[in-house]
Structure 1
């Protein structure tokens, strides 16, 4: 006679039990960092909402792994029940069923209707920015695949990895890039590529939020991706995609992931840091500041590989083998210059690159190069005057330090001009706050409003930049470290 118990009633070292469970998650096979042991993890749930971790090792993976499929129901009997050591606990689970070749696993013929339990809470795409570049926080999402991009090999520390990116959306219509890495490319990536025109629905667990052309998503080793799951909410999203086919085709055609977009980047409520509190240990920081670079003598461009954008000594338009991406590419000018960012607390110098730099400057990299080659200054007097009356919201990331460690480099990942409504909201927030001396403040941002100039410069003298660089050591620098060149006058 089967002793059928709920997951919650099955305790460590217990024998003679059975349980009806649904496979909620099936992770990819992984290897231990300190031993050759291979393992594969699962998450099981029952109809009472209880959950438990399942795990297989080595030979058991080949014998038993193929029997278990996500969202199918099984009878499992007499797996070894153990407590999970605290350092190995994930998903809030403390009990583990170790499934071996002798464990009884039988698929149940009556599958019934499979509905996600309350543990799965898809996050709103508009809230993704709050989790950007967090080392400890992950997100769960449900989305429709709109477009697929080719697989790209990437070499890091002599090891080759593979990444494939997909454009995904949900009913919010906030287009977002999802990057699949390595094993996910070989499995889910191939399936999505073959069927992306049918707009498959994804349920993704434990994705990390990264800053790639705005806000993007990326897999981790413990992420789980389920394609077209037999779940009520997923089917509703699939029907929504069918009703909005024209809009999804337009997204596929316009490829919004090629350009940085405020809609993909800045969340409705972001933490702002005073410049004096910006730390190189923080992966990203948001600041509110003024821009100034009138006093910095620089050339506003550098010659770069057209693919990887790394500095090269190749002549303009020359095809050469890049020493960084190891491919034959063309040498083209790329816009880059330094800006002093100033708030009421301090000043910091950061570099801005590419299209964002061209937009702020009002000149393309090619135009800046031609002015430089003619030994003429760019006509920037009007821009410098306008910047004196503008405030910007800026996201910074730390870069590499100079060789002698004398200063910390920063790069402007993204910026936009602060608008009137933003300033008003912030003033109200400060008036209503009792913590007026805190180092960090919160600013309510309305992302669908066009930016406009409303702010005034700080009522204090310009602070000296703690990372100000002279022309002799900073003219021709890229995001890493590059030699400088002085203009002739």
Structure 2
């Protein structure tokens, strides 16, 4: 007996089911990261979401479907956006988390064995589902409060103000577009590689021919940081499984398009003509206002874990470090190898590829002490002005040292407000604390007197340590501020 079920009732062990769905998003055919297969993503929505709407329902009433290779052409003329279908015998699989947070814990594979019946408007027995009217979008004012290092993926609805050129190196090209909402909040949206070429060209062409501003719907968009001028901004980026649709026909989109028409002159005046990375609007900075800023010495001696904010200079003293690691593209586990060939990952339990990730150590210096932290991912790439692929090519493939002279010049005599995460890890005898940078922004008014770059570094603290040895300076009055003088780590050669 075939069971008529909604998406939330269909699991790995479910057999003989049929589901009525509407296609609400169709991605274009793409290649996998390892270039070994072509695939196409679809987002399906069932009839329960049409009648009942809660944010939590989206994960249960929407699901991703995937087609591979020959099936893409087979279903090209049959599967259309906003059309309704009865689907059965699709393969149900567990959603991977390699490229971000999935919309559902399962996904479907549509292949030659899948039965797909198109419900036409003329069908008297089975009526098509009405066009969807609900979007689970993230408002721009919520984005700065989301963790910048999380794997969260969001859906956005935005007005496009500017479209930058498609530029960069052959294997790492991108296009940056400036977007805003109806509250005049602005963000950069980075379209990487073929997204910048295909979707970016579509946006650029529409902006050149349309009288009014255009609106885009972005699904599964990631959050990152962007270093521009004296601010560290939050920006948005297209991820591997993201989709972009121009001028969608949802009611919210139509409302936003009408608002953009009425306010076109004001919106365009707020988009800077100097560069796509700047704006006359107040930038969305990462570090929240009103947070307590403490000294490096206080933070280092504190036994508590969590987020801290410091004001300090930054410097890369170890120029001979590797600046990148190789990790599994699935579980992100670090691998002690420089060979990027495919391998069987015991944690992922599947064959996967190795990818480089930017990560390196950087010193933070204030008037009380110096400490070493780690900076990684896109935040590190922005600071070095190069991608992890570029770093791997120089340090591992060409076996050359990475030049950071431009970073020294950029950081020289500048004071930054830095958001840090202090976490712990355990060894056989002790528990140690480590620091990692989550965000930073340059202080607008740098003090005239710079901090002492010859300050000694603080060794990694144990959780049990709550006191730090201090010695007063030999010169000056006996009431002078104490200086911390733990051992200085040896520089790697």
TM-score range, shorter-chain basis? 0.5 to 0.7
Taking structure 1 as reference, are residues 95 and 130 closer, same or farther at Cα in structure 2, changes over 3 Å only?
closer
**Aligned partner (choices 84, 89, 94) of residue 84 of structure 1:** 94
The corresponding residue for 2:160 is 145
Taking structure 1 as reference, are residues 76 and 184 closer, same or farther at Cα in structure 2, changes over 3 Å only?
farther
Taking structure 1 as reference, are residues 459 and 30 closer, same or farther at Cα in structure 2, changes over 3 Å only?
farther
Taking structure 1 as reference, are residues 108 and 190 closer, same or farther at Cα in structure 2, changes over 3 Å only?
farther
Q: TM-score, normalization: structure 2?
A: 0.54
**Aligned partner (choices 232, 253, 261) of residue 242 of structure 1:** 261
Output one character per residue of 1:283-314: Cα deviation in whole Å (capped at 9) or x when no partner: xx973326699xxxxxxxxxxxxxxxxxxxxx
Q: Contact 2:176/2:276 (CA < 8 Å) preserved in 1?
A: no
Deviates most, 181-190 or 35-44: 35-44
Q: Contact 1:4/1:18 (CA < 8 Å) preserved in 2?
A: yes
Taking structure 1 as reference, are residues 73 and 251 closer, same or farther at Cα in structure 2, changes over 3 Å only?
same
Q: Contact 2:178/2:189 (CA < 8 Å) preserved in 1?
A: yes
The corresponding residue for 1:221 is 240
The corresponding residue for 1:202 is 216
The aligned runs of 1:170-181 (5 Å cut-off) are 170-181=181-192
Rounded Cα–Cα distance in structure 1 between residues aligned with 2:107 and 2:286: 39
Q: TM-score, normalization: structure 1?
A: 0.55
Q: Contact 2:419/2:437 (CA < 8 Å) preserved in 1?
A: no
Q: Contact 1:131/1:138 (CA < 8 Å) preserved in 2?
A: no
Rounded Cα–Cα distance in structure 2 between residues aligned with 1:412 and 1:85: 30
**Aligned partner (choices 282, 287, 294) of residue 309 of structure 2:** 287
Shift of 1:178: 0.8
1:115 corresponds to 2:139: no
1:106 corresponds to 2:99: no
Output one character per residue of 1:168-203: Cα deviation in whole Å (capped at 9) or x when no partner: 000221221111112212332121101225322122
Rounded Cα–Cα distance in structure 2 between residues aligned with 1:395 and 1:264: 15
Rounded Cα–Cα distance in structure 2 between residues aligned with 1:116 and 1:248: 26
Paired residue total:
329
Rounded Cα–Cα distance in structure 1 between residues aligned with 2:104 and 2:314: 52
**Aligned partner (choices 174, 181, 184) of residue 163 of structure 1:** 174
Rounded Cα–Cα distance in structure 2 between residues aligned with 1:241 and 1:395: 35
1:264 corresponds to 2:284: yes
The corresponding residue for 1:414 is 441
Counterpart of 2:130 in 1: which secondary structure?
coil
Rounded Cα–Cα distance in structure 1 between residues aligned with 2:132 and 2:480: 62
Rounded Cα–Cα distance in structure 1 between residues aligned with 2:80 and 2:308: 43
Rounded Cα–Cα distance in structure 1 between residues aligned with 2:110 and 2:363: 58
Rounded Cα–Cα distance in structure 1 between residues aligned with 2:117 and 2:274: 46
Taking structure 1 as reference, are residues 230 and 224 closer, same or farther at Cα in structure 2, changes over 3 Å only?
same
Rounded Cα–Cα distance in structure 2 between residues aligned with 1:38 and 1:271: 50
Rounded Cα–Cα distance in structure 1 between residues aligned with 2:222 and 2:294: 22
Taking structure 1 as reference, are residues 40 and 343 closer, same or farther at Cα in structure 2, changes over 3 Å only?
farther
Shift of 1:468: 11
1:461 corresponds to 2:482: yes
Shift of 1:467: 8.7
**Aligned partner (choices 66, 70, 83) of residue 59 of structure 1:** 70
Rounded Cα–Cα distance in structure 2 between residues aligned with 1:347 and 1:188: 46
The corresponding residue for 2:417 is 393
Unaligned runs of 5+ in 1: 279-284, 294-337, 351-383, 398-407, 419-436, 440-457, 471-489
RMSD value over aligned CA atoms?
4.8
Rounded Cα–Cα distance in structure 2 between residues aligned with 1:194 and 1:95: 37
1:128 corresponds to 2:144: yes
Shift of 1:45: 1.0
Rounded Cα–Cα distance in structure 2 between residues aligned with 1:409 and 1:8: 39
1:154 corresponds to 2:137: no
Counterpart of 1:218 in 2: which secondary structure?
strand
Q: Contact 1:142/1:201 (CA < 8 Å) preserved in 2?
A: yes
Shift of 1:101: 3.9
Unaligned runs of 5+ in 2: 50-60, 122-127, 301-306, 316-361, 374-412, 422-434, 446-463, 467-478
Q: Contact 1:52/1:95 (CA < 8 Å) preserved in 2?
A: yes
Counterpart of 1:163 in 2: which secondary structure?
strand
Counterpart of 1:221 in 2: which secondary structure?
strand
Q: Contact 1:396/1:414 (CA < 8 Å) preserved in 2?
A: no
